[in-house]
Amino acid sequence: MNKNLIISNTENFVKETLKNAEGGHDWFHIIRVWNNAKLIAKTEKVDSFIVELGALLHDIADSKFHDGDETIGPKIAREFLKKENASEETILHIENIINHISFKSSLDSEQEKFSSPELNVIQDADRLDAIGAIGIARCFNYGGFKNRPLYDPEISPNLQMTKEEYKKSKAPTINHFYEKLLLLKDKMNTETGKRIATDRHNYMEAFLKQFYGEWNGKR
C-alpha cells in the first residue's frame, strides 16, 4: 500500500468531486481542514496517514446536500479506497471517521459510538473551520444558499434539538451560532484545538455584540 500515492490520488479525487460544491463545503474547506489536521497532529500520537486521508474524505458527500442520506459519504470513500488498494482496516477507520465527525452525530443518543485519536484530530480541525472569521463567513454563506433570514428576534434558538430536528431546522442564521457554533469551543478534543478555538470563539462573541448593536441602531 503506497501511502503517499494514495494521499496524492485522494487529493485529486476530492478536488474534482467537490469542484461545484456549496462555498462552505467545497474544496477550499477541505484544504483548511486538512491543514488544521496536520497542524494538530504534530502534538498528538496518531497515524498521520489516517489523519490526512480522513481530513480529505470527511466531507466527500455531506448528507445535507444529499437529502439527509448519511450513507453516501462512507460508500463513496469505500469505493474509492478499494480502487486505491487501501487495506480493509484503513477503509473501516475512514468510514467511522466520516460517520462520527459531525456535530449532529453528537445529538444522536442511539448512534453507536466510535472514537480514535485520529478522529479526535480531524474533528477538531473540522470544528475549527466552523468558528472564527471563516466560521462566520461559512454560516452566512450557507444561510444564503438555503434562503434563510439573517435574524428574527421572534424565533429563539432551540438548545434542546434532537439530531433529526437539527437536520430539518430552517431557523434564521444567527440562531445557528447558539445551536452549534458557540458550543464547539467546549467540545474540542485536543489541547491545540482548544487553544485555537478559544481565540476564534472570542471573535464570534465580539461579532455578535457588534451585530446586535447594529441591528438595534445603537452602533
Asked if pLDDT for residue 25 goes beyond 70, the answer is: yes
Asked if pLDDT for residue 5 goes beyond 90, the answer is: yes
Q: How confident is the model at residue 165 (pLDDT cuts 50, 70, 90)?
A: confident
Whole-angstrom distance, CA of residue 60 vs CA of residue 52? 14
* pLDDT, tens digit (0-9, with 9 covering 90-100), for 8-20: 999 999 999 999 8
Q: By C-alpha distance, which of 203, 46, 62, 55 is closest to 137?
A: 203
Average per-residue pLDDT for the chain: 92
* pLDDT, tens digit (0-9, with 9 covering 90-100), for 40-72: 999 999 999 999 999 999 999 776 766 767 889
Asked if pLDDT for residue 104 goes beyond 90, the answer is: no
* pLDDT, tens digit (0-9, with 9 covering 90-100), for 130-144: 999 999 999 999 999
Asked if pLDDT for residue 173 goes beyond 80, the answer is: yes
Q: Which three cell numbers stand for residue 43?
A: 502534538
Helix and strand numbers (H, E) in the chain are: 10, 0
pLDDT, residue 128, reads 98
CB 56 within 8 A of CB 84: no
Q: Span 3-215: which CATH code? A: 1.10.3210.50
pLDDT, residue 62, reads 72
CB < 8 Å & 24+ apart, contacts of 164-169: 166/104, 166/107, 167/63, 167/64, 167/68, 167/104
